[in-house]
Amino acid sequence: MKSVVVKKSKISGKGVFASRDFKKGEIVLRWRPKKILTGKEIAGLSPKEKTYIARLDKNEYALMSFPEKYVNHSCDSNTRVKNGSDVAVRDIKKGEEILSDYAKAGELNNFACKCHSKNCVGVIKN
């Protein structure tokens, strides 16, 4: 059985949802990047591909693949990025959307936040 499924999200487009319960500290998604890139290589990507970039370290970036590229942002996330994985920061129930705080994960894009959480900061700036 798969641990997650991709389907329509209320936050933005598609999202990743738990297809089973996860305990705090458990790996929810282990990233399998489509490609590892340098900062210079990012310039050659299409605008759509650039939305699926995650920072790995100071000069290395991952072009995310399915399903992790559909993890949406929330200012009240239920996972954090650790060692190329999304790890549960609290218990996650089956059916719940898997959410990450892009600002804490070092994402590249600036955008208006649509998470609607009580902790929403409005604009994500990196």
What's 94's domain CATH number? 2.170.270.10
CA distance 10 to 23: 24
Give the mean pLDDT of 4-29: 95
CA distance 100 to 80: 6
Comparing 27-31, 61-65, 115-119, which segment has the lowest mean pLDDT?
A: 115-119
Pairing of strands 53-57, 72-73: unpaired
**Number of C-beta neighbours around residue 5 at 10 A:** 13
Query: Which residues face 88 on adjacent strands?
Result: 79
Segment holding 12, helix H or strand E:
none
Identify the residue with better confidence: 28 or 58.
Answer: 28
- For 36, the domain range is 4-124
For 88-108, b/e burial (b = at least 16 CB within 10 A) is bbeebeeeebbbbbbbebebe
Residue 75 has pLDDT above 60, yes or no: yes
Percent of all residues in the chain with a pLDDT value above 90, rounded to a whole number: 42
CA distance 56 to 78: 20
Question: In the prediction, which pLDDT does 18 show?
Answer: 98
Using pLDDT thresholds of 50, 70 and 90, give the confidence band for residue 105: low
Residue 1 has pLDDT above 60, yes or no: no
Domain count, the chain: 1
Residue 106 has pLDDT above 70, yes or no: no
